[in-house]
Homo-oligomer: A and B are copies of this chain.
Amino acid sequence: MVSYAAHDLIEFLAVIPENSVGLVSPQTLNIDKPIQLQSGTTLESHELVYETYGTLNSDGSNAVLICHALSGDHHAAGYHSQDEKKPGWWDTAIGPGKAIDTNKFFVVCPNNLGGCKGSTGPASINKATGEPYGRDFPLVTVKDWVQSQAQLADALHIQQWAAVVGGSLGGMQVLQWAIDLPERLRHAVIIAAAPKLSAQNIAFNEVARQAIMTDPDYMEGFYLKHGKIPRRGLMLARMLGHITYLSDDLMRDKFGRDLRVKKFNYNYDVEFQVESYLRYQGQSFVDRFDANTYLLMTKALDYFDPASDYEDDLGKAVSRAQADFFVASFTSDWRFSPERSREIVKALMKAKKNVSYFEIEGTQGHDAFLLDIPRYLLLLKSYMNRISM
């Protein structure tokens, strides 16, 4: 009996690896300062839920802000409980001895305003009505997020981030930080991003939005009030998203034309493995994400265009920046291809900024920025390690 118990204990302790930040708990900040949104609406107050890893040093010079992407949240690293099956979404990069080393840095990751994991968003209760905001929640932009994240920095007594870091939509927030609040960050780490969406990017977002908004259970955006969820639409949006996150090559390596059973059914049940994968991804997403937040995030992506405030000249926009830049892209990423990252790099070079740029080879597609790709994480680690405090 004793031997079984010991074995169970080992299994139990083995859940959390040694280079993890370990058990973490989200915190909530109520920001009472009004925030004037780009849309013209003012939010009198809002809440941000966030996590921190590591310890803030005495002069507050070792703080790193992590900005999340479309379906991300504040839970970037570690585990909420011993039972949690998977760690936070960027546990590959954040932890003791990892690329973003929590022995060195105090890492802060908030759930963005408009999110659905605890920060004020469309699923929150609108004090004016006593019901969830639903579609009454104002659209927010990347610029708005930078303001909101700056309010979080104020509350945490962080005058200047050692680095602001993000991939995809997260990387767009980093670029906006460097332009809007140049004196508040020393390093900008922009991964798998673009200076603005292409027409094709917007088109994919529009199909996702139409999938959600034409779902009869969307109820004009007030589905929560009616006890419904636009499951079909959100599922389709996620399935479509997944296609754009993976490269054609990776899909071929992962699924090819493999069938679930050995022969064709000649009906519309799942036949190919890739169908099974997509349906599973779509269905499981519905249980953990709010459709109105999904819509809001796609609009924030569409609206993002920092050059538009500077006569459509990105070079002029980034000339305000004081940070040094790390920019990385992935060769097989067709959502935000290396070409798009190079647009950012060219603008930075034109503005005579310090910029390190890396194109990472591989077949992983856009999702690469989240994955355990040694060369990529080594480059990131080496850059982060050189940051002085």
Which chain A residues have a beta carbon within 8 Å of chain B's beta carbons? Answer: 38-40, 135, 138-139, 196-200, 202-204, 206-207, 209-211, 213-216, 232, 235-236, 239-240, 242-243, 246, 248, 251-252, 254-257, 264, 266-268, 271-272, 274-275, 278-279, 282, 295, 299, 302-303, 305
Contact of A257 with B199 in the complex, beta carbons under 8 Å: yes
A278 to chain B: which residues have CB within 8 Å?
203, 206-207
Minimum CB–CB distance from A210 to chain B (whole Å) comes to 6
In the complex the two chains form, what is the Cα distance from A369 to B305 in whole Å? 34
Minimum CB–CB distance from A156 to chain B (whole Å) comes to 29
Contact of B211 with A257 in the complex, beta carbons under 8 Å: no
Q: Which of B206, B213, B232, B295 contacts A214 (CB 8 A)?
A: B232
A251 to chain B: which residues have CB within 8 Å?
198-200, 203
Contact A257 B305, CB 8 Å, known A199-B251, A278-B206: yes
In the complex the two chains form, what is the Cα distance from A240 to B243 in whole Å? 12
Give the oligomeric copy count: 2
26 A–B contact pairs at CB < 8 A?
A: A38-B266, A39-B264, A40-B266, A197-B257, A198-B251, A199-B251, A199-B252, A199-B257, A200-B246, A200-B248, A200-B252, A202-B272, A203-B239, A203-B275, A206-B275, A206-B278, A207-B278, A210-B282, A211-B211, A214-B232, A214-B236, A215-B232, A236-B236, A240-B240, A266-B299, A271-B302
* A contact patch SS: helix
Contact of A240 with B207 in the complex, beta carbons under 8 Å: yes
Contact of A239 with B275 in the complex, beta carbons under 8 Å: no
A255 to chain B: which residues have CB within 8 Å?
199
Contact of B139 with A243 in the complex, beta carbons under 8 Å: no
Contact A239 B210, CB 8 Å, known A199-B255, A200-B251, A305-B257: yes
A271 to chain B: which residues have CB within 8 Å?
302
Q: Which of B39, B209, B268, B282 contacts A266 (CB 8 A)?
A: B39
A209 to chain B: which residues have CB within 8 Å?
268
Contact of A210 with B279 in the complex, beta carbons under 8 Å: yes
For the complex of A and B, the 7 pairs showing the least CB-CB separation, nearest first, are A39-B266, A199-B251, A214-B232, A199-B255, A139-B266, A200-B248, A206-B275
Contact of A264 with B202 in the complex, beta carbons under 8 Å: no
Other A-B pairs, 9, CB within 8 Å; known A196-B257, A266-B299:
A135-B268, A199-B255, A199-B257, A202-B272, A202-B275, A210-B279, A211-B211, A240-B240, A257-B305
Contact of B256 with A236 in the complex, beta carbons under 8 Å: no
A282 to chain B: which residues have CB within 8 Å?
210
In the complex the two chains form, what is the Cα distance from A77 to B235 in whole Å? 40
In the complex the two chains form, what is the Cα distance from A6 to B388 in whole Å? 84
- Scoring A39, A209, A256, A257 by chain B CB atoms within 10 A of each residue's CB, the highest score goes to A257
In the complex the two chains form, what is the Cα distance from A365 to B302 in whole Å? 23
Contact A210 B198, CB 8 Å, known A203-B251, A268-B295, A274-B203: no
